């Protein structure tokens, strides 16, 4: 494998070519990838043959223990490490994955779990005519560019993370139900019919400033999509502080917006970069495969 990394003309991100999923990953190539990820946070793999599910799991597993998010989201798949992110619904009216076609606000995957997401691998298998962008922002630089007094104020604080705003809304108004909500409900009804029991989707509390377990770099670890409040702070104060931090994190100079092509595999620093996606025409299919390592 002869890996080549080229920075994108953006505040973060680089392309990576020369990768072959069928070849075992040598430790020196793993190092090259990790170093590039530390530097650029987002690596767009291009020009490779799409990996089989098995090869994809093997490759992602070289970077850490893999999350089995499908078990929480009720996706019945051969490889529980591969989360199908899609709005496609099967003939049985059950979605073939998770997420629908709705917009996702800025978030860090698996921040609501005790062992939070570390790296993620997201591959575009099928895209709508006008693919929604996925945007990434740099939470290391966000922290580095906060006033010192703000950082000291944040240091002892902890935040509560939950995806109850995304899924698992028990009392949702049927009129307002999105395809994501409907899909989640359909999967839960199927599970109930089949007598399948699943563990609850977790919730977690983490320090507002976290240290990356491998690089040791500190990051601002709160997101509009998943962080619900600062622990022990009145909700209005907490909302105001989080709004201020999110606005700081998502300034254009900290953001890269990725325009997807079929076959793109984007590896990103789940821990240090928040991401968001736009909504798209719900009638058009989009199918992504995602794997994540955990801290
Ligand atoms: Fe995500």
Residue 218 sits in a domain whose CATH number is 3.60.130.10
Predicted structure pTM score: 0.95
Question: Looking at the predicted structure, is the pLDDT value of residue 168 above 60?
Answer: no
Question: pLDDT tens-digit profile of 183-222?
Answer: 888 888 899 999 999 888 899 999 999 999 999 999 999 9
Q: What per-residue confidence (pLDDT) applies to 31? A: 97
Question: Looking at the predicted structure, is the pLDDT value of residue 182 above 90?
Answer: no
User: Which one is predicted more confidently, 200 or 150?
Assistant: 150
Which residues have beta carbons under 5 A from ligand 1 (an ion)? 109
Distinct helix (H) and strand (E) counts, the chain: 7, 17
Q: How many domains does the chain have?
A: 1
pLDDT confidence tier of residue 172, bands split at 50, 70 and 90: low
Note down the domain range covering 43: 4-294
Beta bridge partners of 293: 66
210 CA to centre of ligand 1 in angstroms? 19
Question: Looking at the predicted structure, is the pLDDT value of residue 27 above 90?
Answer: yes
189 CA to centre of ligand 1 in angstroms? 24
149 CA to centre of ligand 1 in angstroms? 31
Cα 158 → chain centroid? 21
Q: What per-residue confidence (pLDDT) applies to 205? A: 98
107 CA to centre of ligand 1 in angstroms? 6
pLDDT confidence tier of residue 126, bands split at 50, 70 and 90: very high
277 CA to centre of ligand 1 in angstroms? 8
249 CA to centre of ligand 1 in angstroms? 17
Nearest CA to 37 out of 211, 290, 214 is that of: 214
197 CA to centre of ligand 1 in angstroms? 25
């Amino acid at each position: 494998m002869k890996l080549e990394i080229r920075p994108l003309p953006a505040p973060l991100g680089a392309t990576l070519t020369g990768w072959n999923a069928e070849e075992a990953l040598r430790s020196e190539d793993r190092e090259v990838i990790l170093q590039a990820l530390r530097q650029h946070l987002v690596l767009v793999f291009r020009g490779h043959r799409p990996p089989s599910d098995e090869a994809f799991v093997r490759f992602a597993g070289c970077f850490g223990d893999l999350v089995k998010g499908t078990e929480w989201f009720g996706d019945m798949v051969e490889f529980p490490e591969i989360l199908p992110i899609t709005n496609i619904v099967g003939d049985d009216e059950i979605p073939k994955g998770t997420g629908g076609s709705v917009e996702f606000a800025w978030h860090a995957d698996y921040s609501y779990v005790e062992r939070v997401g570390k790296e993620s691998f997201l591959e575009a298998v099928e895209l709508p005519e006008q693919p929604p962008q996925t945007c990434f922002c740099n939470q290391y630089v966000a922290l580095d560019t906060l006033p010192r007094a703000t950082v000291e104020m944040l240091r002892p604080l902890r935040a509560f993370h939950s995806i109850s705003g995304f899924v698992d809304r028990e009392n949702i108004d049927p009129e307002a139900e999105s395809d994501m909500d409907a899909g989640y409900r359909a999967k839960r009804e199927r599970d109930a019919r089949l007598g399948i029991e699943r563990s609850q989707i977790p919730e977690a509390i983490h320090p507002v400033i976290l240290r990356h377990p491998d690089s040791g770099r500190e990051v601002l670890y709160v997101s509009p999509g998943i962080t619900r409040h600062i622990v022990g702070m009145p909700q209005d104060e907490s909302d105001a502080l989080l709004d201020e931090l999110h606005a700081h994190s998502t300034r254009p100079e900290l953001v890269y917006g990725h325009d997807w092509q079929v076959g793109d595999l984007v590896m990103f620093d789940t821990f240090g970069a928040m991401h968001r996606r736009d909504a798209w025409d719900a009638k058009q299919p989009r199918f992504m495969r995602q794997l994540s390592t955990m801290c």
